[in-house]
Amino acid sequence: MNRTRTRYSGIICHPTSFPGPHGIGDCGDDAYRFVEWMQRAAQTHWQVLPLAPVGSGDSPYASPSAFAGSPLLISLPWLVGDGLLDPSSIADPPPFSASQVEFDAVRAFKMPLFREAFHRFQAGASSHLRPEFDVYLEAQRDWLDDFALFMALKQEFDGAAWIDWPPPIALRDSGALAEARGRLRNEIRLQQFTQFLFDRQWADLHRYANQHGLRIVGDLPIFVAYDSADVWAHRDLFRLDREGRPLLVAGVPPDAFSATGQFWGNPVYDWDRHQATGLQWWIDRIRTTLQRVDMLRIDHFRGFAASWVIPFGATVAAEGRWEEGPGREFFATLVRELGELPLIVEDLGLITSDVVALRQALNLPGMSVLHFAFDSGSSNAYLPHNYTPLTVCYTGTHDNQTTVGWFRSLPDHLRTNVQRYLGRDGSDIAWDLIRLAHESVADWAIVPLQDVMRLDDDARMNAPGSGSGNWGWRYTPHLLHDGLSAGLRELTETYGRTGSVYRHGGHDPYDYTVATTEHGLHRRI
């Protein structure tokens, strides 16, 4: 039966990578220029990393909150425009790198300015924002109050992990918390205010992106950091002992990359307890995230089928075991509470039959990465001739080398495999793979901005397993030029990825949300 299909293309670029004078990309003018460039390139999807505050190693995947936004993304000139900062306070910024985010230096510069903006607000500046702030406090209080107190306490205790705070506060004695809320009242309100500023600026940018034909694809890590407001405020939802220390931590078993497996260190969920609460924490988390984005990539989707859990204190990750995840009923509950969910699932790595079965039961698009396609013959699932349409094809992701760096580092026999498959010599390898992604049957083709710009590995975003030197890449303004947008538009139009429909036998992926019926879950068609 013939039905219409809709094909899309998009770019991965985290907002920290935008240009600007204050050491880090933000929600200001260069973000709007990027949106306009995306429209000229006929792109339909803008994929970002988690928008959360960064944590250990400056990673957005190790955040102190699964709900909060990153204050570092707040535009200072827009605070001047709101009357919250004097223009002179940002007139002479430090000499930041134009190509790398220096997170410590950015924090040292920006955080005092947020405090200054807050003091001006308390003193009566920008009074037009006060009713909006009051509404925000009420609407977000379920997560915001705990987060703000957590961050205020973390500052008071010189950044120590919550488990090392005085026990009455670490274990949330009601009297100790009430005393802390009174003692830290102003610092708590500052934390709430910076979240308000972030969400206000991001909402404007999100709206602008939608008006220019872009859907924003967010990222939802399955696990949270141990040293986070989420674990501190909801210890009962995690496998912890009476003192709050982990009984189990997440990781991966031995594989081709590690003979002993990998420790991730994230606390493991108590899924029975989550189910007993009706998944309320997850419902709140996803609802909050979908206020900021239009679609969600579920990181480490395989954990909903089964996770590798390791006893805390084990010497190697190989001492762990597989534990069954919450499975299909988890998503059915979310749909009953939240309605249809626009999801992509990250199904890379060690994917077993139960993971495949869960994704297929939910009829959700999985990920195929071209960098993984050329090392095992014509049956490799990541080769485009093996795709089904319900697929998101990437050249690489934020965890990969850039395509230029990847191709340069390949051994000769694999480079030959790539050249043979492409029918090209690879002299323009980044755009060769971009073209391959676009011409595939995958309904989505999404590529890192670094590949569009033909950049080498000095523009890599993250090298998994490396605890420092990641997440910092920024582009300089001259790299985002209209020659690139014109080239992307040509590819996008050539391969029908402008969001218009074409005729094809099969289902219509335009409605790619999970829905529920009396029989369970399915994709609406």
Q: Is 324 a catalytic residue?
A: no
DSSP three-state, residue 213: coil
Contacts 24+ apart (CB under 8 A), 150-153: 150/64, 150/65, 150/228, 150/229, 150/232, 150/233, 151/64, 151/191, 151/229, 152/180, 152/184, 152/187, 152/188, 152/190, 152/191, 153/180, 153/184
One of 230, 346, 347, 443 is an active-site residue; which one?
A: 346
199 is catalytic: no
105, 23 Cβ separation under 8 angstroms: yes
| Annotated catalytic residue within 82, 299, 432, 451 | 299
Radius of gyration from C-alpha coordinates of the chain: 23
Q: Are 146 and 233 in contact (CB under 8 A)?
A: yes
Catalytic site residue from 86, 284, 319, 399: 399
Spatial CA neighbour of 498 closest among 4, 9, 5: 9
Report the distance separating Cα 234 and Cα 228, nearest Å: 10
The Cα 433–Cα 149 span in angstroms is: 47
DSSP 385: G
Classify strands 513-517 and 341-345 as parallel, antiparallel or unpaired.
antiparallel
CA atoms within 13 A on the CB side of 230: 24
Whole-angstrom Cα distance, residue 299 to residue 220?
A: 6
HSE (CB half, 13 Å, CA atoms) of 399? 12
d(CA 258, CA 50): 27
Q: Catalytic residue at 255?
A: no
The residues assigned a catalytic role are: 299, 346, 399
